[in-house]
Structure 1
Amino acid sequence: MMKMTLDLKGLRELDDVLAKELPRAAARGVLMRALLAAAEPMAARARALAPDDPNTIDLDRDLRENIIVSTRATGDSIDAGNKAFSATMKAGGTRAEAGAALRDARKSMGAAQIGAFMGPSRRVFHGIFSEFGTGIRQQHKTGRVVGKMDPHPFMRPAFDSEKDATVRRLTLELSDEINKAVARAKRKAMKVRR
């Protein structure tokens, strides 16, 4: 599928608050939960627009059922960690040593960026054919023309109709998640003091 990106600027204050008030893992959880919650309505819109094949018996292959929202860490720290892991393994190190090298490399690079994915899962690779269509196809052995598939866009219209609302939802979700996480951290600190 194609990659569409919403790039939010001016979030330096958010990084500062997360770094001061929360441990790294809690800050990452805040970002992931907020991204998932903000992107879900866009995914619901894509599911509603996706072509439905009533003959699909296997729900694992049904396009509508397999439009997902997920998050993952991205950026330089992830790449550095993967390279350190690979280099340690190639040098004859154990998996434990490679894991330690991965963690050390990621810590030295600072916080990872968190990204969100919304679209068809890998199981339904045919989503790209529905989105963009196909040209005329021909069987190799027989030479028989088997036709073409007209485009039925569902991802781009969902993105276009929901992108502004998604940014607004993300702002609200981040605020809510940060407040919850800071309150949890304070409660935890009070328990430790007792």
Structure 2
Amino acid sequence: MARRGEVWMKLDGVKELQAAMEQIAVKSTRTAVMRRALTKAAEPMRAKAELFAPRRFGDLADAIQISARSVGEVGNAAYSAFMKDAAMDAKSLGTTFDAASAKAGALDAMISARREAKARGVNPAVAIYMGPVVSAGVFYAVFQEFGTKHHTPDPFMRPAFDAEAGPTIERVKPLLRQEIDKAVARIAKRAARGR
């Protein structure tokens, strides 16, 4: 299930690409191949969002990036909930909060949540995120996009998505084929050198 502001897309009809991907034995290399293809496919959408971003403040357009990092990815909620429960339990019992043991339990909860999500097929193998990076000092991006009771919306991400969603999906297959071919060629070259 997508969180607010997330859009999930499924690409069908890629059996030949999947077979080609199986030539790449190392999972991290397969992940990198998919991530590079998705990032290249999404670049025109990022550029359009940058073009649509309001220029009154200047920083917003420059802060729109494509990233493989996720905020609040599967497991983080379980980690936070465990830490919060441990702190509340310590407070209600009148004992001191043992952060070290709570952290160990929270890590176990996070790992379990990720394994369960993967078994249910909830956590995708590769995900990219596009939008303003809040750490760049553009906390106001959400207010620009959706508005407030004092400020009408001035969307920039949604129009970029609406304009580029279809073309982005169409770009994925050829870019994925190109990235798979490059990775297979690199692997063959390394094998020929005896690595």
- What is the TM-score normalised by the length of structure 2? 0.67
Q: Out of 24, 27, 31, which is 2:34 matched to?
A: 31
Which structure 2 residue ranges, 5 or more long, are not aligned?
Answer: 83-99
Question: What does residue 91 of structure 2 align with?
Answer: none
Partner residue in 2 for 1:142:
none
- Select the structure with the greater relative contact order (CA < 8 A; seq sep ≥ 6): 2
Corresponding letter in the other structure for 2:62? E
Q: Does 1:7 align with 2:10?
A: yes
Other-structure match for 2:134: 122
2:17–2:177 CA contact under 8 A, matched in 1: no
- SS of the residue 1:179 aligns to: helix
Deviation of 1:6 (Å): 2.1
1:155 to 149, 154, 157: 157
Q: Cα distance 1:112–1:128, how it changes in 2: closer, same or farther (>3 A)?
A: closer
Does 2:73 align with 1:69? no
> 1:190: Cα distance to partner?
1.2
The residue identity in structure 2 corresponding to 1:175 is R
Aligned to 1:133: 147
CA RMSD of aligned residues (A): 3.3
Task: Note if contact 2:49-2:156 (Cα within 8 Å) is conserved in structure 1.
Answer: yes
Looking at secondary structure, tell me which structure has more strand per residue: 1
- In structure 2, the CA distance between the partners of 1:73 and 1:174, relative to structure 1 (3 Å rule), is farther
Aligned to 1:144: none
Aligned residue type for 1:129: F
Q: Does 1:113 align with 2:110?
A: no
- Structure 2 counterpart SS, 1:118: strand
1:58-113 C-alpha deviation (Å, 9 max, x unpaired)? x6xx1111011011489x9x749x97xx9xx74897xxxx8xxx7xx97xx79961
Q: Secondary structure at the match of 2:126?
A: strand
